[in-house]
Homo-oligomer: A and B are copies of this chain.
């Protein structure tokens, strides 16, 4: 007997109330019954995205919304800046290049946040740049980029700030309208506490203006068509009904907890995880600009991180994430976003302590847990 715990930076655990909603008998998508569910979910999405704009709901993974953000707003030959601080930054660039955009790469060391002055420099040098593409939270490195500062750079310019908020929206504060973000995208399997399968995208007025002249080819990810359908409480193509039914429930949970409380919870869990890691002598990958979605820590010298992740998952039932690319085998990524609370963090920290000891690393049992507990206590009156 081995219970399973999903503590990866997506997919994240799904609350029982959403699971039960999704387990209900299938309903037809062209019915008022479904339209009502859809409308409620679409309205609640605005609350979580902190925007007055429509939030498009796509049957796709987050990458679909990323692609849509490019093909609906730009034309081949357009010039963009891509902040490349990890796998997902790189993805912005790859999509852009696939559609013939000219990419100005700003490479950022993994684990670091982009320096806004580096972006400003390119913007100043190249007035033709039409967009800045960045992650709010770069999941591969567990670093957060300074979205607010970047938004200040594109404001008033003929240039869009396009933000991948896949592991950011609903995790920490990214007030789209207040900061002047032009495109904000996310996905269901993160702070939205659902299985994968839905992507979201919200566009500012300025972005919708860009849409009118964008010439990249598109069909499925046609945002204009989606916006029109959204007003009729549906999607252009068959909506993923069960996921949207679950979405309504998970959004209700977020609303009930209160967005600022959700952010505070993620912050508390993230600080507890970082304190626990440090207490155990594990070095953080992103100590200076950590994302509250997940915490990347280097595995100790002499421990094979790939085998450690596999051991935790297959022997202990704890699914964490490892490192990617050049950090493969060297990193553990411990998630704390979504339907995650105090004892999930205690579970992941204690399992890491136990697994490390199995790998021959000297561990003082309970030391990381103890460091986490002190911070986690803040969550209780």
Contact = CB atoms under 8 A, between A and B. Distances in A.
A365 B370 contact: yes
A351 to B, nearest CB: 7
A37 interface: no
Contact of A343 (B5, B357, B381): B5
A373 interface: yes
A340 to B, nearest CB: 9
For this chain, the copies found in one complex come to 2
Contacts of A377: 354, 357-358
Nearest to A366: B370
B366 A1 contact: no
A306 to B, nearest CB: 18
A40 interface: no
Interface in A150-202: none
A353 interface: yes
Nearest to A311: B380
A369 interface: yes
Interface in A212-249: none
A381 B315 contact: yes
7 contacts: A1-B257, A1-B262, A350-B373, A353-B373, A365-B369, A366-B371, A366-B373
Given A3-B344, A315-B381, 14 more contacts: A1-B253, A1-B261, A2-B341, A5-B343, A315-B380, A316-B342, A354-B373, A354-B377, A354-B380, A358-B380, A365-B366, A365-B373, A366-B369, A369-B370
